[in-house]
Homo-oligomer: A and B are copies of this chain.
């Protein structure tokens, strides 16, 4: 089966290599839900329903109990308003780690091609059932259905394949073997046979987040697995299911391909177990991938010094609105970015900076107050009816998000220019859905600066007056350096402002998106083309998916020997 898998998937990996160099548009996983069969959506929903209210089927070594299904036992609750009722097996980490150590040599000696092929097969199996994965994403992270299908399923598969391809490229940079020949001064040739093998670092731990467990988790998971490291998958307690489906599929494929399924294992945690902290400092854990809070990311960096730690943490993303030749299109694009998934993406814009003297547009000069008001109107237009609004907003993934919205809406952060609205979901009456609140601030006021420097994940938008474009750019750079950012946006017709922004974003280390209108949004990241994160600011040290993200997950071990044709 391994040969067949290699033949089937290596052309795909090669194509991914090309695209990763050219950065052109590409994906082997269609974005169109209909591409996966007419019955896909219904079958996916049925498969999801089938999982509810019962133990999740996963056979791992060292089982010592259960997580869930009750909330107080760690059970999940859909942001759309119902408990999933699923319980997961809990294993003794020592047993899993021991099984992983035993499984490593065969996986290591299989080599980069076989590992890439097995990983690609895992992704292919997941791609056979993207609607099930989407349902899982929707009912754990609260995605809207389209985003659940994209970011929760097919784009996550893209991020996984991207990591597999990068890992394969890095591991095959050197020849597997060569005869090294050095001409000597006396005319003889001096020869050594050399071979180079990729050797994994050890056990890899994925500490996944709650908002994009697959999209944010697959890069580390597949980069580690493809480079030969077994992976412990520690899901966020609110979003176990997407990774449980992933681990189950991966174990099946590994087993079928002749490897130990224990090269990957799910380690859900019981309430209060603090499993991530314990595992992250385990001497056998050589790699940690983490998506979550700045606080825990910092803790990992300082404490898990035995491991390579890759973090993706808090971000405060800003947009400068300086001038535009497409006022209406700008407002629509911006409103969609703010509303999408209720601003809960790590790339969602939060701070909208507008010069206090207003801006030049194709519709004439607009005052600060007009821009603010027109942005509210654009949001109203986008989110006019509940069904349409829910399809954009999704649901709030956790009670803390709702608390933040309500706090902002009460005027405690600043003047409320546009209130949030409770949306009644047509299918899920208990879903927690809110439109964004627009809070008006002034970046010249110290108190407001503090507010702008903090992360308010969720539908909280801070629209702040700045003295000038230059003032706004300086504030953006400061915010990136202090609070971290994944994305900076700007609307400007001025080449000078563009240049100043480019310099500021290069210096502070953040991606810049200029004058986006139409169907592409600040929060979007095109896999194989865009890099997610720079690693240069406090939003994290990992980039999906540059060479640095994979190159340190394995090392190369050489053998040199006297060559048969060499004079030694």
Where the two chains meet, the residues of A that have a C-beta atom closer than 8 Å to any C-beta of B are 21-25, 32, 105, 108-109, 170, 173-175, 178, 180-185, 190, 192, 194, 196-197, 199, 201, 301-302, 305, 329, 498, 502-503, 505-507, 509-520, 526, 529-531, 534-536, 543, 546-548, 551-552, 555-562, 567-568
Contacts and interface: CB of A to CB of B under 8 A. Distances in A.
A71 to B, nearest CB: 36
B514 A23 contact: no
A337 to B, nearest CB: 13
Given A25-B180, A305-B305, A546-B551, 14 more contacts: A182-B526, A190-B519, A194-B529, A199-B506, A302-B305, A505-B559, A509-B557, A511-B558, A513-B559, A515-B562, A531-B558, A534-B557, A543-B555, A548-B555
A55 to B, nearest CB: 37
Contacts of A108: 506
Given A184-B519, A190-B520, A560-B514, A23 B178 contact: yes
- A interface, over-half SS: mixed
A23 B560 contact: no
Given A199-B506, A547-B170, A551-B548, A517 B568 contact: yes
A514 B109 CA distance: 20
A301 B509 CA distance: 24
A512 to B, nearest CB: 5
A24 B177 CA distance: 11
Q: How many copies of this protein are present in the complex?
A: 2
Nearest to A181: B25
16 contacts: A21-B173, A22-B175, A23-B196, A24-B180, A25-B180, A109-B506, A197-B506, A199-B506, A506-B557, A510-B557, A511-B558, A511-B560, A514-B560, A517-B562, A530-B558, A543-B556
B185 A559 contact: no
A130 to B, nearest CB: 17
Nearest to A534: B555
A306 B356 CA distance: 38
Nearest to A522: B560
Contacts of A531: 196, 556, 558
B536 A199 contact: yes
Given A199-B536, A555-B546, A568 B516 contact: yes
Contacts of A180: 23-25, 526, 529
A520 B182 CA distance: 11
A266 to B, nearest CB: 27
Given A190-B519, A519-B184, A552-B548, A505 B178 contact: no
A175 B24 CA distance: 10
Contacts of A178: 22-24
Contact of A518 (B190, B547, B556): B190
A199 B555 CA distance: 25
A150 to B, nearest CB: 13
Nearest to A510: B557
A105 B197 CA distance: 39
B558 A547 contact: no
Given A23-B180, A555-B536, A557-B506, A520 B568 contact: yes
A481 to B, nearest CB: 12
Contact of A512 (B513, B534, B548, B559): B559
A103 to B, nearest CB: 13
Nearest to A329: B568
A36 B561 CA distance: 32
A534 to B, nearest CB: 5
A530 B543 CA distance: 29
A439 B6 CA distance: 52
Contacts of A329: 568
A520 B22 CA distance: 42
Contacts of A185: 32
Given A173-B547, A178-B22, A526-B182, A559 B517 contact: no
Given A185-B32, A534-B199, A509 B24 contact: no
A509 B199 contact: yes
A48 to B, nearest CB: 26
Contacts of A25: 180-183
Nearest to A183: B25
Given A192-B520, A305-B302, A520-B192, A511 B173 contact: no
A498 B543 CA distance: 40
Contacts of A498: 561
B534 A556 contact: yes
A522 to B, nearest CB: 9
B555 A509 contact: yes
Nearest to A533: B555
A270 to B, nearest CB: 30
State the 7 A-B residue pairs at the shortest beta-carbon distance, nearest first.
A518-B568, A514-B561, A548-B551, A548-B552, A547-B551, A25-B182, A513-B560
A274 to B, nearest CB: 21
